[in-house]
Amino acid sequence: MVASPVRRPIGVLGIGTVSVFGHSHEQFRQALLDGRSGVARLSSFDLGECRSTLAAPLVGFDPTQWLSPMKLRRLDRTGVYALVAAILALEDAGVSLPVSGDDSVGVVLGSSTAGGQSTQLFLDGLFRKGVAGAPALLFDSTVGNSAASVTAIEFHLRGPNITMSHKEASGLSAIVTAVDLLREGRASAVCAGGTEAIYETVFKAYDRFHVMSPEATFSRRVAPFDTDRAGFVMGEGGFVLWLGLTDEAVRARHGEILGVAASSARVPLNAWPNDPQPLARTMRQALDDGGVSPADIAVVYASANATGVLDAAEATAITRVFDGARPLVTSVKGALGESGAAGSAACVAALLCGATGEVPPVAGLTEPLAEARSLRVARQRTSADGPLALVNSFASGGALFSVVLRVAS
């Protein structure tokens, strides 16, 4: 195979997080490095006869620190999380946008639930009380591209505006797409990442299909890569990177994206990838795109989420790709849950934890599954061997994305 030419790195100029651990970089980093988990019993709606009761929800999040109550009335929660994360990323980047906005700055956000909560509330009012009972203020937020749109409107960003929906891989797919836009010169900067909210209709649909963990409390049974894992739990939040081209005048505050890859696996519509080969292929493509070898990678932020099939397939794929090399391997989903924002959350974790030269453990992991026993799976806070990280996000249904990051020194 002929390797593609190495592309210009894309700088991560700012980071915004809205997570179960709060919104500051330090809170997020320390919680992950300490091995804490945000997984707990869900209490935001009646679980009734639900088989699954665990999730990683945001508790006590107050968006009025950034947004007016009037504006919040019009927004779906995915839009709220995205908008606050974008505000924080812009502040972190120290970027001053013109009051009139910018025609060259884009927004690319990934989500599998954007607009869902507003749709649920709107249709509930419509069916119960007729047209007069449908909350008109929410109508604009019932579409899937609402989160990206309200973010662009807030800052008057008139560059590319794209919503990616690849189920659990949505957030990382948005970052991959943003990198392509910047490389091709279609944008001067891009606000990119993922946003997801837990809401009743989707949670209960997943519950009915028995695809989530049935555990009543957090334990090793919801830990990625654990031999006793019993299924994923849903998470939520917003994780945004402010991306741009870098040069001597513009330094990447947090690091750079060196390589990206997008691929797919042949699986049934809602099944997790079970063949290691396409997962390995995607990782190799990202390494080739970044001009790095497996031996250069210090840590892999895996897509593993405590499901039986995905964790085993990914562990085998990582073993094949890094044959002879031994990067640390971790996953943030024992801490944050699984969601369309999880891939962008893993990028944030790689950059923020990497800034201290450390790798977070897999929350709850006790004994790695057989396929992962030859890997250096992080079970405690560990020093990284270098600045390069590979981030994976593999979705049920077969969408596959990988990104190579270099943490700023």
Per-residue pLDDT tens for 123-177?
676 667 777 776 666 656 667 788 999 999 999 999 999 999 999 999 999 999 9
Structure tokens at 223: 């830990």
Strands (E), 51-179: 54-56, 105-110, 161-164
More confident residue, 202 or 355: 355
How far is the CA of 8 from the CAs of 95, 119, 263, 283, 368, in angstroms?
Answer: 21, 41, 21, 19, 37
Rounded distance, CA 101 to CA 151, Å?
Answer: 12
Helix 116-129 to helix 200-208 angle (10° resolution) is 100
Q: What is the pLDDT of residue 2?
A: 46
Mean pLDDT of 84-93: 97
How far is the CA of 269 from the CAs of 167, 174, 206, 333, in angstroms?
Answer: 11, 21, 14, 22
Residue 1 pLDDT class (50, 70, 90 cuts): very low
Residue spans of alpha helices (H) in 322-397: 333-336, 342-354
Q: How many CB atoms are closer than 10 A to CB 139?
A: 13
* Predicted confidence (pLDDT) at residue 337 exceeds the cutoff of 50: yes
In the chain, the percentage of residues whose pLDDT exceeds 90 is 82
pTM across the whole model? 0.94
Q: What is the pLDDT of residue 316?
A: 98
Mean pLDDT of 263-284: 96
Rounded distance, CA 103 to CA 105, Å?
Answer: 6
Mean pLDDT of the chain: 93
Q: What is the pLDDT of residue 248?
A: 53
Mean pLDDT of 394-401: 97
Mean pLDDT of 348-360: 98
Q: What is the pLDDT of residue 313?
A: 98
Q: What is the pLDDT of residue 47?
A: 95
- Residue 180's closest CA among 243, 89, 88? 243
* Predicted confidence (pLDDT) at residue 5 exceeds the cutoff of 50: yes
Residue 230 burial by CB count (10 A; 0-12/13-18/19+): exposed, middle or buried? middle
Mean pLDDT of 274-286: 98
* Predicted confidence (pLDDT) at residue 118 exceeds the cutoff of 70: no
Could you report the per-residue pLDDT of 195-247, keeping only the tens digit for each?
Answer: 999 989 889 999 999 999 999 999 999 999 999 999 999 999 999 999 998 77
